[in-house]
Every structure is written in structure tokens, then in C-alpha cells.
Amino acid sequence: MQIKTAKFVVSNQEVHKCPTNQLPEYAFIGRSNVGKSSLINMLTNQKSLAKTSGRPGKTQLINHFIINENWFLVDLPGYGYARVSKSAKKTFQKFITAYFRERKQLVSAFVLVDIRHKPQPVDLAFMQWLGEHGIPFSIVFTKADKLRPKSIEDHIDTYKNILLESWEEFPNHFITSSTNYAGKEALLNYIETINTDLENSTNKLPFQ
Ligand code: GDP
């Protein structure tokens, strides 16, 4: 897929204020500094559509961008555990879980992880949460330019082995780099294929 247009639409923290159009939408999420803004800018051929890290006090928002006037790319804030409650119960930020539970237009999520790091408990917990809630997702390994090909394979294998302890299959995944554009075509083609299937299906969209 060629991205011809990519425009910011709206930012907010409330699912009911997200766009009401019935366009398919794809959400990008990961820990802060994982390379999410760089990836979104790389995918959309823009320098600063998504704001890169380093801004102090960066507000946590659900950001909607409309792509080619026919699907939404959603930039979600870095997840972490919300402030630990008295009972020490750990949860993800409420508005993020509300978005995933309630947003009917959501077709699939992309969970970003830095390919250099061992699987992190918070990422695994988030994928587990998505699985438990029946939300389809792909893993996007970022910053692949920082590793040699053999090392990339080893890191993916480690991830796979850990996930297969609790999952039946290793989720769909992409190996990307915003520096050398690795994975760009594969990821955009994946979205395009789903969008085409949705357009051709009798139900049009899964959420209608
Ligand atoms: P965000 O907080 O997830 O939005 O992360 P950013 O996109 O702001 O990236 C965090 C840091 O990682 C920045 O210094 C980026 O320049 C760097 N970075 C992001 N993606 C890549 C990549 O693919 N390769 C390399 N080498 N650095 C990257």
C-alpha cells in the first residue's frame, strides 16, 4: 500500500469522543521509547506526524490519524502500570483498556517491542490481556537496524519460546526499523489485505 495522505484528526482520552466514522482502525501501542512515533512517521512518510519522545510532560492521549481517507491509524500512549493501588493490584491505564474493550472500529493492534530487549513482563502482560479480551494483534519488533541478522533471529526465537509457554501459536509479527525502512512494506501490505477483505466481505466491517 502506498500512503498518499496522512492527517491528524483528533486527540482525546475518552473512547466516546473518538471519531464516529465507521472506518477500520489499527492501533499502535508499546512502552515509551520503543520507537512508536518513529515507526508511525516512517510508515506514513512524514517527519513529525507522531511526536517523538523527549517532550517533558507528554500528555497521554489517544491520537487518531486518517490514512488515504479510508482507515484510521491510532497512536496510543505508552502503557505502563497505572499507579499501584492500595491492594497493589496492577492495571493498565484505564482509558487504554477502555479503548480496546469499547472501540468497535478497531480491527487489529500492533504491539511494539524493542528487538534488543528480552521479553519484558509488562509487554507480555499486555499481550496476555489482549488475548484474554479477544483482541487481535501483531507484534512489531522495532530498531532491527541495531542488531545483526543472526542476533535478530536469536532474539525472535527467545520471544517465541517465552510466548509459546502460554500461547498456542506465536502471534503474527513484523521486524522493522524506522532507520532503514525494514518491515514497512510488509506491515502496510498486511493492513491493505485486511482492508480489502473487509471491503469485499458481505458484512463490510466486523463491527457493524
Ligand atoms: P516512542 O517514545 O515510542 O514514540 O519512541 P521514539 O520514536 O521517540 O524513539 C525513541 C528513540 O529511539 C529515539 O531516539 C529514536 O531516534 C530512536 N529510534 C526509534 N526507532 C528507531 C529505529 O528503528 N532505529 C534506531 N536506530 N533508532 C530508533
Q: By the 8 A CB rule, do 24 and 73 touch?
A: no
Is the CB–ligand 1 distance for residue 33 below 6 Å? Answer: yes
Burial of 24 (0-12, 13-18, 19+ CB in 10 A): buried
Does residue 205 sit within a domain? no
- In a domain? residue 206: no
Position 1 in a domain:
no
Query: Residue 165 falls within a domain, yes or no?
Result: yes
Is residue 108 a contact partner of residue 26, using CB atoms and an 8 Å limit? yes
Q: What is the CATH number of the domain that holds 112?
A: 3.40.50.300
Residue 161 lies in a domain: yes
Q: What is the pTM of this model?
A: 0.92
Ligand 1 pocket check for 179: Cβ under 6 Å: yes
Whether 208 is covered by a domain: the verdict is no
Walk along the chain (208 residues) in steps of 10 and give the mean pLDDT of each run. 94 93 95 93 93 58 95 89 49 85 97 96 92 96 97 97 94 97 98 95 60
Query: Range of 56's domain?
Result: 6-199
204 inside domain: no
Ligand 1: atom nearest CA of 41 is 7
How many domains, in total, are found in the chain? 1
Does residue 103 line the site of ligand 1, with CB under 6 A?
A: no
pLDDT of residue 171: 95
SS3 10: strand
207 domain-assigned: no
